[in-house]
Amino acid sequence: MSRKKRVYYFGPAGAEGSSSQKNLLGGKGANLAEMCNLKIPVPPGFTISTSACVDFFAGGNVWPDGLINEITKSVKRIEIETGKGFGDKENPLLLSVRSGARASMPGMMDTILNLGLNDETVEGLGKISGNERFAWDSYRRFLAMFADVALDINRSQFESALGRLKEKLGVKSDTDVPVESLRELALEYKSIIEGAFDEGFPQDPKTQLSMAIGAVFRSWHNDRAKEYRRMYKIPESWGTAVNIQSMVFGNLGETSGTGVAFTRNPSTGERLFFGEYLFNAQGEDVVAGVRTPLSIDQMGARTPSAHKELIRIYQRLEKHYRDMLDIEFTVENGVLFMLQCRVGKRTAQAAVRIAVEMAGERLISKSEAVNRIHADQLDQLLHDTIDPSAGLSPVAHGLAASPGAGVGRVVFTAEDAVTWKKNNEKTILVRRETSPEDIAGMNAAEGILTATGGMTSHAAVVARGMGRCCVAGAEELNINEVEKFFAVNGHTVKEGDYITIDGTGGNVYLGQAPLVKPELSGEYDTLMSWADKFRKLKVRANADTPKDAKIARKFGAEGIGLCRTEHMFFEGDRIIAVREMILADTLEERKEALAKLLPMQKSDFKGIFDVMEGTPVTIRLLDPPLHEFLPKTESDFEKVALDLGVDISILKSRSDSHHEFNPMLGHRGCRLGITYPEIYEMQVRAIMTAVCELKKKGKKVKPEIMIPLISHVEELTKLRKLVQNVVDEVLGEFGLKMNVMIGTMIELPRAAITAKRIAEEADFFSFGTNDLTQTTFGLSRDDSGRFLPHYVADGILASDPFVALDRDGVGELIKIGVAGGRATKPKLEIGICGEHGGEPSSVEFCHQNGFDYVSCSPFRTPIARLAAAQSAIMEKENTLSDMPPGKTGKKIVVKSKPSKKAASRWSAKKKALVKKETEKAEKEKAERRAKKKATKSPGGKTPKR
C-alpha cells in the first residue's frame, strides 16, 4: 500500500526537506533540513510532518497507518549516522522530541529531552560521558519531564521529592546533590509514576518515543496553545510538526560547550556577530545563571576550529537566508553542531539599520529593504518609550490609543492640567472620557488616560492628532472625578500621584518609569527616501493648527487631508463667541456672534496655509453637533450666563433643546450647513479671505473645501452652491480669480452607495472611515468598549475595525463608492481621512483601490509613507497580499507572551543578551550624542562596509 510520506529525515548527508517546506515541517524542522542541505553540521534526526499530526487528530488521536514504521526506519538511520544505539546499554542514543509549528509559538507546546534513558542506558551514558552524576541527573530530569508531558502527572510531586531530598542532605543547590542521592531520587520518581500510572515508567525507549510523540501532538490542543492561537489568529487546523533529533552534549568537558548568537546586533542593527558561549555546559546551566558566559571571540581561544567553523557557518547562513539570523549551537568534544537557526527578532532601530545596510551590501534589493520593516514598528522610532530594561509590570491595561510613553502627576480635569503646566508640573490627564472642551488640558498634559472609549474615541483621535500618548478604555479604572482619585486593581491613585502610561502597548504603570527618547538615524532617512520613490499614494496629514501642520511637514506630509475647523472653536475666548452663536435666539443674533468668530477663523486658516504653502489643504466645514460646544457643569453654565448676559435658566432650557439621543446620528455635519447656512457662509468667508490675503502676498495656496456627512446628493447640490457663492464673492472683493475645489466626505453608507450621483457635485471624495465604520457596523466608537474587545478576543472579529479597515464590509462599500465616483468623473480625486489612513493594511487597501492619497495624524505620516511604498512594491511583484488585516509587509513579528514554561531553553538567555546589548547601545548612543554636541559634525550617514 502506497501511503503519503509523513517522516522527513535530515542529517550530515543532506535532508529530505528544505526551508521552503515550513507548512509541512514547521519552522524548526524546515530550517534544520535547510542547514543539512547546506552541509552545515546538524545532529541527525527527522521531522514528523504537520499533516501527520492533522491525520492523528482526524482519526481520534490514533497513529496514522505506517507512521510507526517510518519512525522506526528513521531512528535506525540516526543510529547508523551516530554510531550509537537506541536503547544500547553501552553507547545509548538519546533523542530530543520537540514540537515545531508553522508559526512560531514559543513555549506553548511540549518538549522532552534525553529520551532513551532507562535503568540500563543511564549506566552506559555515565560510562561513555565519564560523568556518572551527569547521567543520573539527566535520567531524573527525563523521568520528571516524561511523567509531566507524556503521562500528565503533576510536576509538583517531583519537585517536592527533590526538595525533601535537599533538606535531608542540607544542601541548597541541585548541583550539590551527590550522585548516590540522584540514584535514590530516580527511584523515588519512578515510584511516583507508578502511583499515578498503573503501567509505571516505560523502560523501553521505543515505547517512550511513541508516547512522547503522541504527547507533543496532543499538546497542540492544550489551553495555553489554544489561547495563543486565538491571540495571534493561528488556525486550529494547522497542527504541529514533531522534531526528533539525536542529543548532543555541551557538558562533556572543556572542549564542549553551548552558545547562542545573532548574526548582527538585534538591538542596534550593527553588523557584528554577536552572542554568548558557555564552556562545559548545557542550556539549563545558562538559564540558571551559574557561570558568566563568554563572548564568541573568547570561545575561539579554547576551541579554535569550532569557532572558525561557526564564523564560516553564520556568514554562509546570513548570505543564504539574506537576513539577520538567530542561531543556537553546541560544541561536543570540539565538534560544532548547529541546533537551530531562524530569522532573528530585532528592535525597530535595528530593523532599519539592518535593512539599509544589507541593501548597501547588495544582499537584498532596495525594495526588499523597504519591505523588511513592519510599518507599525516605526512608531518605536518616533515616540518616547518605556526603557525595556526596567522590567516593569503594568497595573492596568487599556487600548493602545496613541503611541509613546508619558510620565506625570495625575489630574482629573482639563483645567488642572493647564494650571499645573503653568507651574511646570508634568501631568497625566485621567478622565472617564474626554470631550472637545478638554482640548487645552489634553495639550497641556504629557498623556491622556481614559476609562471608556475605543480606538477612535474623542480622546484617542485628538491625542493622536496632537502626538500625545494615550491609553483609552482602561476599564479596570474606577474613576471618582469629584473626589479626585481612581481605584485600580487594589491600588488607589490620588490627584498628584505619579503614573506612567504607555500608549504604544496600552499599559498603565504606577510611579515614574524611566523613558527612552527617540532618535532618528541616517538609515531611517535613507530608508524613507527609498520608500518615497516606490510609493504611488500621496500622504497627507490631519492637522488643525499651524503647529500640527509644521510637525506634519517635518514628517513628510505632502498636504493636509483633514483640517477640522471645530477644534479651533475651543481655543481661548472663542468658545464664548461659539456659545453665543449656538444659543442665539434669532438669526440676527447668530450672525452677530459669527461675525466675531470670522477674524479668528481667518487667522487660523492663514497660519495653516502659510505653513503648508504649495501643498493642498483640505478644510472640513463644521461637523460636530452644536451641543458639544455647550457648557456641561453648573459652573460652566454660570460662566456662560455671565458672559452672555442671559438668565441661567433660559440658557439651560435652550441648551436642553439641543440634547440628542444619538448625537452621532443627529443634527451634525452638512445638516448644520443646511439648517444654519450662515455658519458655513462664515467659515467659507474666513477660508477665502485667508487665501486671498496670502495670494496677494504672492504665496501659493491650494484650499480644498470639504462638506461633511453627505447622505444625499441634494444636500451637496445645495451646499455647493452656497460655498461657491461665497468663494466667488470673496474672490471678487479681492479682484482675484482661482479655481477652488469643493468636495465631500464619503462617510455614510448611503453616500458610498449613491456615489455616482454625488460625484456630479463633488470635485473630490475623502472617505471618512471612522464614521463609515460606525454606521456600516452600527457600532458607536464611544460605546463599543464594553463588547468590542471581547469580540476581538473571541475571534468574532479578526481585529478592531476602528484600527484596521474592515475590508469585507466597509471596504466593499468603499469600492462601490470609488467605482461610482470614477464612473461619473474618471479623474475624481479620492483620499481617506479616517484614522485608518495611517494603518498599514488600510493604506494597502487604499493603494489597491486607486486612491490618490491617504491622510493620517502627523505622527503616523512615516508609517503611511512606508506602508504605501510596500503596497506599491507588492503590487509590482504581482503578489496579492493574503495577510490578515492589521498585518502587512513580509515579516510578521509575533510578540512573545509570558508563559508558565520558559519559551525555549534559550529564551531567558536571549532576553538577557538583548537587554545587555540595548544598554550598551544606549550608553554608546549617549556618548556619540555628547561627542556630536562637542564637534557639531553632521552625523547619521549610513556607514559603508
Nearer CB in complex with a copy of itself: 371/780: 780
Query: Does 520 engage in binding with a copy of itself (CB under 8 A)?
Result: no
**Distance between CA atoms of residues 141 and 675, nearest Å:** 79
**842, 805 contact by CB (below 8 A):** yes
The radius of gyration of the chain's CA atoms, rounded to the nearest angstrom, is 33
Which residue of 70, 437, 502, 715 would you call a contact of a copy of itself, by CB under 8 A? 715
585 makes contact with a copy of itself (CB under 8 A): no
Residues in contact with 448: Cβ distance below 8 Å, sequence separation at least 6, in sequence order: 402, 428, 429, 430, 431, 434, 442, 459, 463, 468, 469, 470, 471, 472
CB nearer to a copy of itself: give 587 or 796. Answer: 796
In the complex, the smallest distance separating the C-beta of residue 843 from a copy of itself, rounded to whole angstroms, is: 22
Of 484 and 671, which has the nearer Cβ to a copy of itself?
671
Give the nearest distance from C-beta 231 to a copy of itself in angstroms: 16
Q: Does 184 bind a copy of itself (CB under 8 A)?
A: no
* Position among 12, 663, 677, 940 found at the interface with a copy of itself (CB under 8 A): 663
SS3 479: strand
Nearest-approach distance from CB 712 to a copy of itself, in angstroms: 6
8 A C-beta contact, residue 443 and residue 422: no
Minimum separation from the CB atom of position 637 to a copy of itself (A) = 19
Question: Which residue, 166 or 671, is less far from a copy of itself as judged by CB?
Answer: 671
Grid cell, residue 892, equals: 510578521
Three-state DSSP string of 446-458: CEEEECCCCCCCH
Residue 794 near a copy of itself by CB under 8 A: yes
Q: How many degrees, rounded to 5, is the angle at CA 548 between CA 542 and CA 549?
A: 75
Residue 925 CA to its chain's centroid (Å): 25
Q: Which of 342, 718, 901, 925 binds a copy of itself (CB under 8 A)?
A: 718
Query: Which of 604, 526, 520, 514 minimizes the C-alpha distance to 568?
Result: 604
CB of 354 or CB of 651, closer to a copy of itself:
651
Question: What is the distance between the alpha carbons of residues 944 and 773, in angstroms, rounded to a whole number?
Answer: 47
123 lies in the binding site for a copy of itself (CB under 8 A): no
Question: CB under 8 A: which stretch of 53-61, 655-663, 896-904, 937-945 binds a copy of itself?
Answer: 655-663
Residue from 316, 547, 654, 671 in contact with a copy of itself (CB under 8 A): 671
Q: What does the alpha-carbon distance between residue 777 and residue 796 come to, in Å, rounded to a whole number?
A: 13
Q: Is residue 789 near a copy of itself by the rule CB under 8 A?
A: no
CB of 808 to a copy of itself, least distance (A): 6
Mention every residue, 6+ apart, whose C-beta is less than 8 A from residue 2.
Answer: none
Taking the C-alpha atoms of residue 238 and residue 99, their distance in angstroms, rounded to an integer, is 13
Among the listed residues 119, 78, 314, 129, the one whose alpha carbon sits nearest the alpha carbon of residue 202: 119
Helix (H) / strand (E) element for 518: namely none
Q: Per-residue x/- mask for a copy of itself, residues 402 to 441, rule CB under 8 A?
A: ----------------------------------------
Q: 53 an active-site residue?
A: no
Closest to a copy of itself by CB, 797 vs 883, is 797
675 binds a copy of itself (CB under 8 A): yes
Q: How far is the CB of 653 from a copy of itself (least distance, A)?
A: 9
Whether 458 is a known active-site residue: answer yes
Task: Find out whether 749 and 663 touch, Cβ atoms under 8 Å.
Answer: no
Task: Out of 198, 199, 223, 808, point to the residue binding a copy of itself (CB under 8 A).
Answer: 808
Question: Binding of a copy of itself at residue 565 (CB under 8 A)?
Answer: no
Among 655, 689, 775, 842, binds a copy of itself (CB under 8 A): 775
Is residue 226 within the footprint of a copy of itself (CB under 8 A)? no
Using the contact rule CB under 8 A, the part of the chain among 82-90, 101-109, 492-500, 657-665 near a copy of itself is 657-665
User: Interface with a copy of itself includes 679 (CB under 8 A)?
Assistant: no
| Contact between 667 and 659 (Cβ < 8 Å) | no
The DSSP letter of residue 199 is T
- The interface region with a copy of itself, picked from 133-141, 143-151, 662-670, 691-699 by CB under 8 A, is 662-670
| Pairing of the two strands 538-542 and 560-564 | parallel
Cell readout for 174 is 541541585
Does the footprint of a copy of itself cover residue 779 (CB under 8 A)?
yes
| DSSP H helices in 59-178 | 67-82, 121-129, 132-151, 156-169
Does 806 bind a copy of itself (CB under 8 A)? Our answer is: yes
Min dist. Cβ of residue 479 to a copy of itself (A):
12
Q: Closest by alpha carbon to 252, among 287, 285, 294, 280?
A: 280
- In the complex, the smallest distance separating the C-beta of residue 101 from a copy of itself, rounded to whole angstroms, is 24
The verdict on 778 binding a copy of itself (CB under 8 A) reads yes
Number of residues that bind a copy of itself (CB under 8 A): 49
Q: How many residues does the chain have?
A: 945
- Give CA–CA dist 178/721, Å, rounded: 94
Binding mask 743-772 for a copy of itself (x = CB under 8 A): ----xxxx--xx--x-------------x-
Q: Is 198 exposed, middle or buried (0-12, 13-18, 19+ CB in 10 A)?
A: exposed
Name which of 364 and 788 has its Cβ closer to a copy of itself: 788
Q: Does 714 bind a copy of itself (CB under 8 A)?
A: yes
Under the binding rule (CB under 8 A), the answer on residue 783 touching a copy of itself is yes
Q: 307, 374, 383, 458: which one is catalytic?
A: 458
Distance (Å, whole) CA 743 – CA 765: 6
Answer yes or no whether residue 628 interacts with a copy of itself by CB under 8 A: no
Whether the Cβ atoms of residue 601 and residue 686 lie closer than 8 Å to each other: yes
| Residues of this chain that bind a copy of itself (CB under 8 A) | 660-667, 671, 674-675, 709, 711-712, 714-715, 718, 747-750, 753-754, 757, 771, 774-780, 782-784, 786-787, 790-791, 794-797, 806, 808-810, 812-813
Report, as residue numbers or ranges, the catalytic residues: 458, 833
